[in-house]
Amino acid sequence: MDRFLIPQESAQNETRVAATPETVKKFIALGCSVFVERGAGVLSGFLDDSYIEVGAELVEIGDEKSWAECDVLLCVQQPSQELLSKLSAGALIVGLLAPYSNNKLAKSLKSEGLSALALELLPRISRAQASDALSSQANIGGYKAVLLAASALDRYFPMLMTAAGTVQPAKIIILGAGVAGLQAIATAKRLGAVVFVSDIRPAVKEQVESLGARFIEPPSVAEHPTESGGYAREVSEAFLLAQRQLLSDHLAEADVAICTAQVPGKKAPRLIDEEMLDRMRPGSVVIDLAVSQGGNCAKTKPLETVIRKGVKLIGASDLPCTVSNHASALYSRNLLALLNPIITNGEVILDTDDELINGSLISKDGVIRYPEVVSSGGEN
Ligand code: NAD
């Protein structure tokens, strides 16, 4: 019988938890035993008693014995190196492990002889949808970005006809129409804004228009295919230059820009430069969800609001943590969906013939399986 451990997350500002009482109950029904660190779910609205009620055992935070005896650690973000060193060789970590930008991860996995499933690397096939934590969290990011923009903006979002005259609807530009961008479109439309969208993947246009937004065609610069396996590929600097020229007039008239454009494992494309910011109206708002990857917009800083010539630049890298209850509920269901099919008699069997396991298993007992991915990033 595998012993699962649900830690209190140790990363700064992290409010989510990797298992809720709902999923703990299901893991126990599958024959696993589950240990939960005291207070692990409190910041996302799940009290210790609710875990005890479904059969989990509470342990103290960082308790040596619980970590040493843990077979499967379910986490949101990678625990600190100090905590990882408490695990025994052969233990499995499952979480959003930031494999592209985390040199220390490979070091800990190797030195402690750990196995690890990084959810960021799940192949995007239909069977993976229920386990897709990037999507469940990006969806929340897109929704919350619009709410944040609406409360930071000095104008209404909807068109209003009042006795004092008519107010025009806000104009919102959404850069990148992946999961976060599409949710941002839907949320901004519900609030009554007029929405324009830029993306480089041709497949996106129809999705954008079906949500009632207007698609800004990409520049007509010859480029290698902009898409591979459903993900965007990195475009050339010449393409980005043409794209910025195209976006500049739109931004000059915009009230809000929501930046969600990313290319997996690469620096985020720079889509708003300082000259473009100079043309934006004082009082307008930019929300940059790509800020941790270098940002789509110049001058944004993670977790900060910078006011530049009256334009509010909000570096929003933690939005799922601000909706911690639902973010945790969905994330923990993603983990259950991934592990459920590979648990037999309470034990997790890592079968690399399974496409999902093969794609996301970055380390097996300390042997790094994708060194080109896992050791490629900078220091954490
Ligand atoms: P992402 O977070 O990697 O990137 C966000 C968006 O930025 C993408 O739409 C990308 O095309 C866009 N982008 C990149 N460079 C840009 C630029 N220079 N200008 C403008 N936009 C730019 O994307 P994501 O949310 O992971 O979604 C990518 C695709 O994968 C979507 O089509 C989504 O529907 C699909 N998807 C499939 C599955 C599955 O089949 N299991 C699961 C989730 C998402």
pLDDT digits (tens, 9 = 90+) for 69-109: 999 999 999 999 999 999 999 999 999 999 987 778 899 99
Is residue 376 over pLDDT 60?
A: no
CA 79 from centre of chain: 17
Token digits of residue 70: 């843990």
- Per DSSP, what are the bridge partners of residue 272? 297
- Chain segment 121-137, per-residue pLDDT in tens: 999 899 999 999 999 99
Greater confidence, 232 or 189?
189
Look at residue 231 in the predicted model and tell me its pLDDT. Answer: 74
335/74 Cα distance (integer angstroms): 8
Q: In angstroms, what is the span from residue 250 Cα to ligand 1's centroid?
A: 22
CB 33 within 8 A of CB 4: yes
CB 194 within 8 A of CB 172: yes
> Considering the chain, what is the average pLDDT of its residues?
94
Q: Would the CB of 264 count as within 6 Å of ligand 1?
A: yes
Q: Would the CB of 127 count as within 6 Å of ligand 1?
A: no
A 10 A CB-CB count for 363 gives: 26
Is residue 378 over pLDDT 80?
A: no
Q: Are strands 231-232 and 227-228 parallel, antiparallel or unpaired?
A: antiparallel
Look at residue 379 in the predicted model and tell me its pLDDT. Answer: 42
CB proximity list for 190: less than 8 A, separation 6 or greater: none
Q: In angstroms, what is the span from residue 236 Cα to ligand 1's centroid?
A: 18
Mutate to test the pocket of ligand 1, among 263, 291, 319, 360 (most ligand atoms within 8 A of CB): 263
Q: In angstroms, what is the span from residue 179 Cα to ligand 1's centroid?
A: 6
Q: In angstroms, what is the span from residue 261 Cα to ligand 1's centroid?
A: 8
CB 153 within 8 A of CB 256: yes
Mutate to test the pocket of ligand 1, among 226, 262, 297 (most ligand atoms within 8 A of CB): 262
DSSP string, 262-300: --TTSPPP--B-HHHHHTSPTT-EEEETTGGGT-SBTT-
202/225 Cα distance (integer angstroms): 10
Is residue 20 over pLDDT 70?
A: yes
* Gyration radius (Cα) of the chain, Å: 22
- Chain segment 232-283, per-residue pLDDT in tens: 888 889 999 999 999 999 999 999 999 999 998 889 999 999 999 999 999 9
What's the rounded mean pLDDT across residues 172-176?
98
- Chain segment 304-317, per-residue pLDDT in tens: 999 999 999 999 99
Look at residue 202 in the predicted model and tell me its pLDDT. Answer: 83
- pTM comes to 0.94
Nearest CA to ligand 1 atom 43: 135
Q: Would the CB of 296 count as within 6 Å of ligand 1?
A: no
- DSSP, collapsed to helix, strand or coil, labels residue 77 as strand
Q: In angstroms, what is the span from residue 204 Cα to ligand 1's centroid?
A: 9
375 band by pLDDT with thresholds 50, 70 and 90: low
Nearest CA to ligand 1 atom 11: 232
CB 326 within 8 A of CB 16: no
What ligand 1 atom has the least distance to the C-alpha of 240? 18
Q: Would the CB of 39 count as within 6 Å of ligand 1?
A: no
> Could you tell me what percentage of the chain is helix, strand and coil, using 3-state DSSP and rounding each to the nearest 5?
40, 20, 40
Active site residues: 124, 129, 132, 135, 231
Q: In angstroms, what is the span from residue 264 Cα to ligand 1's centroid?
A: 9
Q: Would the CB of 262 count as within 6 Å of ligand 1?
A: yes
Look at residue 46 in the predicted model and tell me its pLDDT. Answer: 98
